[in-house]
Amino acid sequence: MLNFILIILVVFIAAFVVIKLINNKKNAKVEDQIEIDDKTFTLNKMTEFVKKRLNEITKVNLYDIGLSEEELKRRKNKKYELKKALKGCTYGDVNDKKYVKELIYDLLSKEYGVDETNISKAIPFDVPSLLTDQDKFDILIYHYKKQFGYEALTELIKKYNLDTLKYIQGQTKPAYVITGDEISDIFEKEALVLTFQDKLNVIVQRIYQHYKGYSSIDEVRDMNIDGVSGGVSGLPESFLSQVAQTDGDYLDQVMESKVPRACDSIWIFFRGKSIRLAFLSFGTESELKRVCQNIYKYNNPGQLSDTNGYKINEMKDGSRVVVVRPSFSETWAFFVRKFDVKRSTLEQWFKGEEGSDKSIELLKYLVKGARIISITGEQGCGKTTMLMGMIENIYETMNIRVQETAFELHLRKIYPTRNILTFRETETISGQEGLDVQKKTDGSVNIIGEVATDPVASWMIQAAQVASKFTLFTHHAKTFPNLVTALRNSMLRTGVFKNEKTAEEQVVQVLNFDIHLAKDFRGKRYVERITECIPVENINEYTFDHRNEKTLEGKMDKFFDNAAHYFTKVTNRETFKYVNILEYVDGTYVITNPISKHNIDEMRMNMEEADLEAFDKFIEENWGKQKKTYNGLMEELKEMSKPKKRGRKKKTEDDIEQIEF
């Protein structure tokens, strides 16, 4: 009897549960129907739907669905792949970005019900007058990207000469800027005809960039340009609150977008020119902040906080990214610097200008001759790109070791079969420690991406003396004397030397050549000069002539002569001379002074047979007729190194021959 009662109770409970589940499903269907009936096709609603669906897909418990083993495995793989793509696309991975966009496309077209009749509710494609500047730009970039790929922005700028200086309203001086009016004019000229698939792809990109992408710069960042930055102009939010208390009219102008805010600041770096995209904006300060907080996250570099107000990192595609935030900076800002490794050749640098063939030959021989070379110039003049191009000429037998602040050169992408290893600074490992480790890694060539700190500069000099065959590095010095002075001061500040002259002597004995790059106001980048450093030999000018003098007055004269030599060496003696062996004159590269005999001999010792013959021929062609000039230069340097004195005994020819330069 008891068992019978229990059985009836279980049946009633089971029936109650089944009825409840059926009712819940009916209610859910009704709710879904209500959602479908009430849904609108705005970008905000679509974005909310995409976020919700992707969240459901990634968090669903597959074991509760009752799938077969094969289907369960397939669904688990797809779930893992989606999670990986959602994470990777925020790091700048274009493949993950493509995967996520394709999924969004399917969700909108198959689940959300976007079709020809309602798609224009999101973006008014059929009424061009209602399109915003960003709408037009997104459509243009999509159209050009179908034809040119990641060269789309470059082709658009080149076709319509958008990188020229121009005057805009409210400014008295010309600037590099692309305005909304220019984008509107281009859109009218192009007269594009879009299919439904084209329109949906534009909407998918817009949704993606506000969900997982980098807002308005998402597509721009992927293009093959030199870089992109944001938050570097316009009024910060903190300033607006101050203005509101003092100048209401000015605040009204800001709100009407007549005065740009920090979140309206988007700049690109294109062929050496910083160009402001006046038609693009992040919209709000919070959107700019979101981009800054996400764009540097690749490989977990640590948290950007008020205490640690900046981060230097690289993105998955090799771009260098620097992010700053208040209170370290006045507003949130980021700088993405891209390096096109395919274009990093010496031929690309000189671009067929007059005298470029001999200039390229000269640079190749300097590298093959194992000379210690610095590449100097201002920011954005192409030092890293030049360094990439020069590395191509290092012999395959030499192992290359690289030290950088952030990975920029990516030499193993260009030369995957070569022995190359790159180190970088971290929060716990300084550049000095990294360079110390390099000494134990059988490297032949040391490459330092940027000599930016005193310890790295000091170690670079030491390593160039004993730790490697030769060294290549970049520096921000403006002139050759400035380069020597900066390196000397770094040696002094790190405590390696206490005496200025001694530190300077060490620098000039190590440094062979300096390649100085320049960028004019129109953004053209070129090699301004190649300079050779010639150390001035310390000649012993002291004499013992006082022994031959019979009078005290004569002995005192000779003593004072020696004293004058001493004080000249201590206070006024020059430790180096420098001559330009190549100069850029009126648009032409001109080979000028010859390379010193010492460096020529050293270069010949480090070259292979074929290169040695070609180098000798190069010297004969360019400086063979200047042999007298070369000898004259050496004699002039000898004379300049000698202190002036009265009554000095004339040296014999045998004495002069013993002087080495």
At 203 the pLDDT is 95
Residue-wise pLDDT for 592-604, tens only, equals 999 999 999 999 9
Instruction: Report DSSP state, residue 658.
Output: T
* Nearest-angstrom CA–CA distance, 444 and 432: 18
d(CA 178, CA 7): 80
Query: 462-471, 523-532, 639-648: lowest mean pLDDT where?
Result: 639-648
Res. 653 pLDDT band, cuts 50 70 90: very low
Domain boundaries, the chain: 126-200+212-235+256-340, 342-538+575-657, 541-572
Cα separations in angstroms, 292 against 106, 145, 311, 548, 552: 29, 26, 10, 80, 80
For residue 37, the model assigns a pLDDT of 40
Lowest-confidence region among 284-288, 432-436, 592-596, 647-651: 647-651
Q: What is the pLDDT of residue 132?
A: 93
| CATH number at 342-538+575-657 | 3.40.50.300
pTM for this prediction: 0.74
Asked if the model's pLDDT at residue 354 lies above 70, the reply is yes
For 280-299, how does the pLDDT look when each residue is reduced to its tens digit (9 = 90+)? 999 899 999 999 999 999 98
Contacts of 164 (CB under 8 A, 6+ apart): 176
pLDDT at 1: 66
Say if residues 486 and 477 touch (Cβ distance below 8 Å). yes
Mean pLDDT is lowest, of 120-129, 389-398, 422-431, 535-544, for 535-544
Instruction: Report, as an integer, the average pLDDT of 288-313.
Output: 91
Out of 3.40.50.10490, 3.30.450.90, 3.40.50.150, 3.40.720.10, select the CATH number for domain 126-200+212-235+256-340.
3.30.450.90
Rounded Cα distance between 70 and 76, Å, is 10
For residue 530, what pLDDT band results from cuts at 50, 70 and 90?
Answer: very high
Residues 621-639 as b/e (b if ≥16 CB within 10 A, e otherwise) read ebbeeeeeebeebeeebee
Q: Residue 390: which residues within 8 A CB-CB, separation 6 or more?
A: 346, 363, 367, 373, 375, 472
